[in-house]
């Protein structure tokens, strides 16, 4: 029964992810339509950001679907060890961009600049969190790391 329960949960997740993907596709279409109707640079930039994010969300959702339907995600200690020095370099870059975004946000005097810089700051902090999760995964593999 446990195996059937797991299969049912996977099926339910796939169905919800596919529904979400359909919403993301609609978002991409709507953003493109809005962009085609305006020449305003601010509106176009916001719509482009959302359109690009929706495209990325769709790809990540497909990755999740694939891990449920084709092959589970895995990462070996050896695979992680091969690239960890580059990941550490990238962690440093991401943290530098977070600090730059914070500094710029403090200096911003326009609402437009503040809003866009806040978006960039949140995105850079998100990257930092994702890399931190990889580091936590590494610590789980190597308890003494």
Residues 6 or more apart whose Cβ sits within 8 Å of residue 26: none
pLDDT tier for residue 144 given thresholds of 50, 70 and 90: low
* Tens-place pLDDT, residues 17-29: 999 999 999 999 9
Q: Distance of alpha carbon 122 from its chain centroid, rounded? A: 11
The number of beta carbons lying within 10 Å of the beta carbon of residue 110 is 9
pTM of the model: 0.87
Average predicted confidence (pLDDT) for the chain: 93
């Amino acid at each position: 029964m446990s195996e059937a329960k797991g299969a049912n949960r996977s099926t339910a997740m796939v169905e919800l992810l596919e529904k979400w993907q359909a919403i993301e596709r609609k978002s991409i279409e709507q953003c493109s339509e809005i962009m085609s109707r305006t020449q305003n640079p601010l509106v176009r930039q916001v719509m482009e950001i959302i359109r690009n994010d929706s495209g990325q969300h769709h790809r990540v959702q497909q990755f999740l679907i694939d891990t449920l339907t084709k092959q589970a995600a895995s990462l070996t200690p050896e695979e992680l060890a091969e690239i960890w020095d580059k990941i550490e370099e990238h962690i440093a870059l991401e943290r530098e961009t977070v600090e730059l975004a914070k500094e710029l946000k403090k200096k911003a005097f326009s609402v437009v600049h503040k809003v866009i810089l806040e978006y960039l700051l949140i995105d850079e902090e998100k990257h930092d969190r994702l890399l931190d999760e990889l580091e936590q995964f590494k610590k789980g593999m190597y308890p003494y790391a």
